Amino acid sequence: MFGPPDIVSADDRDRVFNTYILLALETFKSLDSSKQLVLLVSYDFSDGGVKYHHLASLDKLREAYTKQNSEDGGRVFDEQFACMEPDNGVIISVFHFAPRGAWCPSLYGCKSLDKLEEMSMKGKCPETRPINHWFNDSILYARFNPGYATHLFTKHLEKMKEIEDGSIAVLVCNDITEECTLTFPTLRSYLNDCKRVLVSKETMAFIRAKYIPKKMLIFNVINYLIDYFLVMEFTITLNRATIKYFSSPRDTSLGDEKTNHVDL
């Protein structure tokens, strides 16, 4: 977990902003740029649910703060708003709800819809990240077992055979939303996505170093917006897939190098 269950850290707020705010702002560019845009976005860490609300005014936004906390909500809004530029034409508030329900608001702004590019990605990718023993290589390996691998390769065999040069196969499983999706991004676009969610530089360098054209498979597990990776190399010959598993930097849980063969 990312920290105490009733706290949303600065890094987690940045991940929400980079994932759900920056990507959504383009959809609002068609609105009247002469009027102030007030957006309220709520993100619930307990289920990964995100909602967008276009509010009529700052007064309505302050009311939303007060509704969340009748005693301190108005004061929190006033303090956050006082730290902003006076000529902001775009105001975005994010109501983060921690896994146990604690309300943790953030407030952002920029001059106008025409200046949305000023709202750049928040946060910085750390050099390294601590190993989470609930999501280390051996745990991910146990989840991506031969039976699971057989199902994946059998169901998507043709797609796995036809990966384009420069692309990789990524199975993304979000433990909170309980959704799993197989995608085939380019390595460059995937690493850009990793930067957006503040994956460590060490991990991204490791993924880049292990890249083999048309043969890289990543099991990417997301838990409370934190990404964990099991990096693999695969080959398909006749009716068999061979999967080689790589140990992540500083993670010795997988032990000796592992290779599995699955019949298709």
Nearest CA-CA partner of 43 in 84, 124, 99: 99
Per residue in 167-177, is it b (16+ CB within 10 Å) or e — as a string?
bbbbbbbbebe
Q: Which pLDDT does position 141 carry in this prediction?
A: 96
pTM metric for this prediction: 0.89
- In the predicted model, residues of the chain with pLDDT beneath 50 are 1-4
Q: Which pLDDT does position 28 carry in this prediction?
A: 72
> Which amino acid is present at 9?
S
Q: Quick one: tokens of 111? A: 């001059």
**DSSP reduced 3-state for 170:** strand
Contact residues for 185 (Cβ-Cβ < 8 A; gap 6+): 167, 168, 170, 193
- Check: CB of residue 74 under 8 Å from CB of residue 65: yes
The predicted-structure confidence for 6-63, as pLDDT tens digits, reads as follows 789 999 999 999 999 887 777 776 666 667 889 999 999 999 999 999 898 999 999 9
Q: Which pLDDT does position 86 carry in this prediction?
A: 77
Q: Which pLDDT does position 25 carry in this prediction?
A: 75
Contacts of 179-188 with C-beta under 8 Å, sequence gap 24+, read: 182/152, 182/156, 184/159, 187/211, 187/216
CA pair distance 216, 184, nearest whole angstrom: 10
